[in-house]
Chain A
Amino acid sequence: QSVLTQPPSASGTPGQRVTISCFGSSSNIGSNTVDWYQQLPGTAPKLLIYSNNQRPSGVPDRFSGSKSGTSASLAISGLQSEDEADYYCAAWDDRLSLYVFGTGTKVTVL
């Protein structure tokens, strides 16, 4: 059971901007930092954003993250075909004492 809720799907044409939301609560997003992972088909997840809005080395600046209260969002600008993947938000949950992942959003490039 995931306590972080994401839309199941999102889509856009090449070059467009796509935003994915992640809704949590005071025990997870409200009190801890948010990470985002990208999972290309058949591969291991990859860290995309950490600590709400930080990009690891090598991640294009087309990807950006933000957090406000108990929700977070990931924006992909200048959408490219290689961005077709599943995207997961994640955060530590103080009440459950575990790291929780979002329900996942499948991004399709039309």
Chain B
Amino acid sequence: EVQLVQSGAEVKKPGESLRISCKGSGYSFTNYWITWVRQMPGKGLEWMGRIDPSDSYTNYSPSLQGHVTISADKSISTVYLQLSSLKASDTAMYYCARQAVATSFDFWGQGTLVTVSS
């Protein structure tokens, strides 16, 4: 069974950094890109970026370039999302998802709620 399991909820202060994880299982981890999607409270979905776990090649949303870093440790089938200089506007649910056919995302993590508040 394909599963993506994300790390738990985080509460951070403005200016701090954050790293959340997404562990894949039940499939060949290096054969599929992993993407990160953000959903602010009551809002829609926003694509943040993606990584090819086989070689750690990444693409980022231009609006988030420099604020976001996606990395992978294929030895433990885990992808990470790092956010620097957090702001209140980074408060959101963060999802990882597996990229399947073309650009579609066929399996999703359960989500990690990040709250940034002073």
Contacts of A104 in B (CB 8 A): 44-45
Q: What DSSP secondary structure best describes chain A's contact surface?
A: strand
Contact of A100 among B35, B47, B95, B97 (CB under 8 A): B47
The stretch of A13-21, A30-38, A66-74, A75-83 in contact with B is: A30-38
Residues of A at the B interface (CB closer than 8 Å) are 2, 32-33, 35, 37, 39, 44-47, 50-51, 54, 56, 88, 90-92, 96-104
Interface residues of B (CB under 8 A from A): 35, 37, 44-47, 59, 61-62, 95, 97, 100-106, 108-111
Kindly identify which residue among A45, A98, A101 contacts B62, using a CB–CB cutoff of 8 Å.
Answer: A98
Given A97-B59, A97-B62, A98-B62, the answer on whether A88 and B104 have CB atoms closer than 8 Å is no
Rounded to whole angstroms, the CA-CA distance of A90 and B47 in the bound complex is 10
Interchain CB contact under 8 A, B44 and A88: yes
Enumerate chain A residues within 8 angstroms of B37, measured Cβ to Cβ.
Answer: 45, 101
CB of A35 within 8 A of CB of B104, answer yes
Residues of chain B within 8 A (CB-CB) of A96 are 62
Alpha-carbon distance between A101 and B102 when the two chains are bound, in angstroms: 15
Question: Taking CB as reference atom, which chain B residue is nearest A47?
Answer: B106
Taking A96-B62, A97-B62, A99-B35 as contacts, is the C-beta distance between A47 and B46 under 8 angstroms?
no
A97-B59, A98-B61, A99-B35 known; A50 and B44 CB under 8 Å?
A: no
